[in-house]
A and B are shown apart, each in its own frame.
Chain A
C-alpha cells in the first residue's frame, strides 16, 4: 500500500500534464492544382504542430537514452531554474542535478533498476516519469 501511495504521489502529475493542448495535422501529397485534379492522403506527413507556447514549464519531458546511461530532457522556459531529481521507488531522494539549459542530456550514473525521475522548479514539481535503467 505504501508503494502504491508513492507511485500515485509521484506519477499522478503525469496524467494531469497529459491533458495538454495539442494540434495535430494531416495533409495531402503534393499535386498540380488545376480543374479536375485530385490529391491523395500523405500518410507519412501526419505530425504534431508545435504550438510554441511559452508557459512556465507546462511542457517538459525526460527520456532515457538508448544506452541507458543518460537522460535527455527539455522544457519550455529558458529563464526557469529547473532541477532533475531522481528518487528510488521507496521515495528516497538519490540525485539532484541542476539543469543548465532548457534542452540537453544528463548522465545520472545509475545502477540498473526502476526509479522515479522528476523535473522540478523550487517546490514545484513540473514533470514526473518512471525511469527504467537496463544495460
Chain B
C-alpha cells in the first residue's frame, strides 16, 4: 500500500495538475494567402480591403471555439473590432474540429500594412450564449415566450438598438440573445441581454467600458462582493451588467417598489448565470 501511495504522490508531483491549459492549444497558425478585396463606396472612392486566409490546428480533446485577432504593431496590441476584421458571412468565431487543420477567410478593412500578426485563440469550453436562455429556472419568474430574439452577430443588433450595435462590434461580439421575463404576480419585469464576446478579455473590456459610461453607478450594490457585476438605479428598479468568462450580460429589472428587492432579485439571476458559466 505504501508503494501505491508513493506512486500516486510521485505521479502527481511529476505530472502536475492536468489543467485545461495543457489540454487545449492552437498550433500551426499560418497565413496561406492574401488578396485584394477593394470596393468602392457610394461616393465612388476606393475603399481598400484585404482578404486573408488563416489556417490553424486546434489541439484539443473535443471541438473547440476559436476566435481571431489581428495586430498591426507586431503583436503589441490586438484588434478585434468587427468593423475592422470579420469572417465570411459575419462569422467571428468558428467551432473547429480537434487535431485537424482548419481555415477561415478573414476580411480586413485596410490596405497593405506592415508588421501584421494574426492570432487564433481557442477556449476550453463549448458554452454558447443561447444556453443561458431562461425558462423557469429562477423561481417565481417565467419567460414571456414572445420576445426572445437571437442575434447571430453584432450587425443584427441594429434591429434592437440601432446604432448601439457598434459598441458591441467594437468589443468583438460573437452572438447573443435578448429575452423578457415576468414574475408570477405579473408586476415585475426583467429584460435580459446575454452575449458571447468570444473571450473573457473582450467580455471584461465591454463590461468595463459600459461601467465607465454609467452616470449613476451604484457601486455598493455589487462591487463589495462581486467585482464582475455592477448596477445603477433606474425608475422602479435596477440595471445590471456583469461578465462571466466570455459572456457579457445586461439586465433591467423594473416594477419594484423597493430597490433592495430589485437588487436581491438581480443577485439571484447573476448567481444562476455565474453557476451556469461554471464559476
Residues of chain B contacted by A55 (CB below 8 angstroms): 228, 274, 279
Beyond A30-B115, A33-B112, A51-B199, is A22–B21 a contact (Cβ under 8 Å)? yes
Q: Which of A40-76 contact B (CB under 8 A)?
A: 40-43, 45-46, 48-55, 58
Beyond A28-B29, A38-B31, is A23–B279 a contact (Cβ under 8 Å)? no
**B116 with A33: CB separation less than 8 A:** yes
Q: How many contacts between A and B, using CB within 8 angstroms? A: 174
Beyond A15-B18, A130-B9, is A23–B122 a contact (Cβ under 8 Å)? yes
Q: Mark A10-36, 1 if CB is under 8 A from B, else 0.
A: 010011011111111111111111111
Residues of chain A contacted by B34 (CB below 8 angstroms): 33-38
Beyond A38-B31, A46-B26, A130-B9, is A20–B19 a contact (Cβ under 8 Å)? yes
Residues of chain A contacted by B224 (CB below 8 angstroms): 79
A79, B225: Cα distance in complex, Å: 9
A56, B68: Cα distance in complex, Å: 29
Q: Which of B220-275 contact A (CB under 8 A)?
A: 224, 227-228, 244-246, 274
Q: Which of B32, B200, B227, B274 contacts A51 (CB 8 A)?
A: B200
A48, B24: Cα distance in complex, Å: 10
Minimum CB–CB distance for B279 against chain A, Å: 5
Minimum CB–CB distance for A16 against chain B, Å: 10
A124, B50: Cα distance in complex, Å: 53
A24, B74: Cα distance in complex, Å: 19
Minimum CB–CB distance for A14 against chain B, Å: 5
**A32 with B19: CB separation less than 8 A:** no
Q: Which of B5, B20, B33 contacts A22 (CB 8 A)?
A: B20
B136 located at the interface, meaning its Cβ lies under 8 Å from any Cβ of chain A in the complex: no
Residues of chain A contacted by B278 (CB below 8 angstroms): 19, 21
B155 located at the interface, meaning its Cβ lies under 8 Å from any Cβ of chain A in the complex: no
Q: Which of B8, B116, B119, B125 contacts A31 (CB 8 A)?
A: B116
**A27 with B4: CB separation less than 8 A:** no
Chain A positions near chain B (C-beta within 8 angstroms): 1, 3-4, 7, 11, 14-15, 17-43, 45-46, 48-55, 58, 79, 114, 129-130, 132
Chain B positions near chain A (C-beta within 8 angstroms): 1-2, 4-5, 8-9, 12-13, 17-21, 24-36, 50, 52, 54, 56, 74-75, 108, 110, 112-125, 199-201, 204, 224, 227-228, 244-246, 274, 278-279
What are 29 A-B interface contacts by the 8 Å CB criterion? A3-B2, A18-B17, A19-B278, A21-B125, A22-B21, A23-B121, A23-B199, A24-B26, A24-B124, A25-B26, A26-B119, A27-B120, A28-B31, A30-B74, A33-B50, A33-B110, A33-B114, A36-B34, A37-B34, A41-B27, A42-B29, A48-B21, A49-B200, A49-B201, A53-B228, A53-B244, A54-B228, A58-B279, A132-B13
